[in-house]
Amino acid sequence: MDALSQLYLPGAVPVWAALVFSLTALWGWSLVLRGDESARPFARRAYLFFTLSVLLVAAVLLLALWRRDFRIEYVFQYSGLDLPFHYQLAAFWAGQKGSFLIWLVWGALIGLGVIRTAGKRAEPAVMSLYTLTLIGLLFILVRENPFVMLAETPADGQGLNPLLQDDWMVIHPPIMFVGYALGAVPFAFAMAALWRRDYKDWAARAFPWALAGFLVLGCAILMGGYWAYKTLGWGGYWGWDPVENASLIPWIFGTVLIHGLYLERTKGRFRRANYVLATLVYLAVLYGTFLTRSGVLADFSVHSFVDLGISGWLVALMAVFFVLPVVLMATRLREVPTVRNEDPLLSRGAFLVVSTTTLVASALVITAGTSAPLLTRFLENPGQVGPSFYNRVNLPIALLVALLLAVVPFLTWRGEALGAVLRKLIWPAVAAAAVAGLAFALEVRDPLHLLLLALASLALLTNLQKTFRRAAAQGIGAAGGWLAHVGVGIMLIGFLVSSAYDASTKVTLEQGRPVQVGDLTLTFTRAIPRQGQEKERMEVEVVRDGGSTYFAYPKLFMNDRTRQVMANPHVRTFPLQDLYISPIEFDPGRPPGAPERVQLAAGETFEAGGATVRFDGFEVRSDEGSMAAMAALQRGGSITVAAKLEVDRGGATATVEPLYTFAAGGQVSAPPAALPGGGSVLVSGINANDGKVQLDLVGLPSQATGEPARLAIDVTEKPLIQLVWYGLYVVLFGGALSTWKRLRQSRRLDDEAAAA
Partner 1 sequence: MTRKARKTAIYSAGSLLLVAFAGFSLASFRDALTPYVSYDEALGAGGRTVQVAGGLVAGSSDYDDETGILSFTLAEPEGSGTIRVDYEGLKPANFEEAISIVAIGHWSAGDAAFRADKLLVKCPSKYQGAEVKEYG
Residues 395-454 that bind partner 1 (CB under 8 A): 396
Q: Backbone phi, then psi, for 60, in 5-degree steps?
A: -65, -40
Binding flag, residue 7, partner 1 (CB under 8 A): no
Stretch that binds partner 1, among 89-97, 280-288, 404-412, 607-615 (CB under 8 A): 89-97
Q: Which of 5, 381, 548, 549 binds partner 1 (CB under 8 A)?
A: 381
Binding flag, residue 644, partner 1 (CB under 8 A): no
Which residues from 552-611 bind partner 1, rule CB under 8 A? 562-567, 582, 584-585, 599, 601
Which of 315, 601 has the CB closer to partner 1? 601
User: If binding means CB under 8 A, how many residues of this protein chain bind partner 1?
Assistant: 77
Stretch that binds partner 1, among 258-266, 387-395, 456-464, 546-554 (CB under 8 A): 387-395
d(CA 603, CA 608) in angstroms, rounded, equals 17
d(CA 358, CA 346) in angstroms, rounded, equals 17
Binding flag, residue 88, partner 1 (CB under 8 A): no
Which of 393, 444 has the CB closer to partner 1? 393
- Whether the CA torsion 16, 22, 26, 31 is positive or negative: it is positive
d(CA 312, CA 294) in angstroms, rounded, equals 8
Stretch that binds partner 1, among 203-211, 364-372, 512-520, 570-578 (CB under 8 A): 364-372
Strand ranges across the sheet with 673-674: 596-601, 692-698, 680-687, 673-674
Q: How far is the CB of 209 from partner 1 (least distance, A)?
A: 26
Q: How many CB atoms lie within 10 A of CB 65?
A: 24
Which residues from 521-550 bind partner 1, rule CB under 8 A? none
Q: Which of 56, 142, 354, 620 binds partner 1 (CB under 8 A)?
A: 354
Q: Which of 369, 554, 719, 734 binds partner 1 (CB under 8 A)?
A: 369
Q: How far is the CB of 363 from partner 1 (least distance, A)?
A: 12
Which of 305, 660 has the CB closer to partner 1? 305
568 bridge partner residues: 555
E strand or H helix that includes residue 145: none
Q: Which of 229, 262, 300, 524 binds partner 1 (CB under 8 A)?
A: 300
Stretch that binds partner 1, among 71-79, 116-124, 203-211, 431-439 (CB under 8 A): 71-79
Q: Are strands 710-719 and 577-587 parallel, antiparallel or unpaired?
A: antiparallel
Query: Do the beta carbons of residue 281 and residue 186 sit within 8 Å?
Result: yes
d(CA 141, CA 186) in angstroms, rounded, equals 24
Q: Which of 259, 269, 272, 293 binds partner 1 (CB under 8 A)?
A: 293
Query: Do the beta carbons of residue 577 and residue 547 sit within 8 Å?
Result: no
Binding flag, residue 384, partner 1 (CB under 8 A): yes
Query: Treating both helix axes as pointing N-terminal to C-terminal, what angle do 167-196 and 96-117 enclose, rounded to 10 degrees?
Result: 50
Binding flag, residue 173, partner 1 (CB under 8 A): yes
Q: How far is the CB of 699 from partner 1 (least distance, A)?
A: 26
Which residues from 662-701 bind partner 1, rule CB under 8 A? 687, 689-690, 692
Q: How far is the CB of 455 from partner 1 (least distance, A)?
A: 17
Which of 331, 357 has the CB closer to partner 1? 357
| CB burial of residue 153 (10 Å; 0-12, 13-18, 19+) | exposed
Which of 626, 694 has the CB closer to partner 1? 694
Q: How many CA atoms lie within 13 A of 160 on its CB side?
A: 27
Which residues from 91-150 bind partner 1, rule CB under 8 A? 94-96, 99, 150
Q: Which of 1, 3, 4, 151 binds partner 1 (CB under 8 A)?
A: 151
Which residues from 507-526 bind partner 1, rule CB under 8 A? 507-508
Stretch that binds partner 1, among 128-136, 474-482, 488-496, 506-514 (CB under 8 A): 506-514
Binding flag, residue 77, partner 1 (CB under 8 A): yes
d(CA 113, CA 118) in angstroms, rounded, equals 9
Q: How far is the CB of 92 from partner 1 (least distance, A)?
A: 12
Q: How far is the CB of 271 from partner 1 (least distance, A)?
A: 20
Query: Do the beta carbons of residue 94 and residue 30 sit within 8 Å?
Result: no
Q: How far is the CB of 478 from partner 1 (least distance, A)?
A: 31
Q: Which of 129, 175, 276, 385 binds partner 1 (CB under 8 A)?
A: 385
Stretch that binds partner 1, among 46-54, 188-196, 301-309, 459-467 (CB under 8 A): 301-309
Which of 61, 125 has the CB closer to partner 1? 61
Stretch that binds partner 1, among 73-81, 327-335, 471-479, 589-597 (CB under 8 A): 73-81
Q: How far is CA 398 from the centre of its chain?
A: 22
Q: How far is the CB of 386 from partner 1 (least distance, A)?
A: 6
3-class SS string, 216-240: HHHHHHHHHHHHHHHHHCCCCCCCC
Q: How far is CA 396 from the centre of its chain?
A: 25
Instruction: Output DSSP code: residue 149.
Output: B
Distances (CA, A) of 139 to 59, 136, 380, 623: 19, 5, 36, 68
Which of 23, 164 has the CB closer to partner 1? 164
Q: Buried b vs exposed e over 182-213: b needs ≥16 C-beta within 10 Å?
A: bbbbbbbbbbbbbbbeebebbbbbbbbbbbbb
Q: How far is the CB of 164 from partner 1 (least distance, A)?
A: 5
Q: Which residue, 92, 98, 291, 260, is CA-closest to 186? A: 260
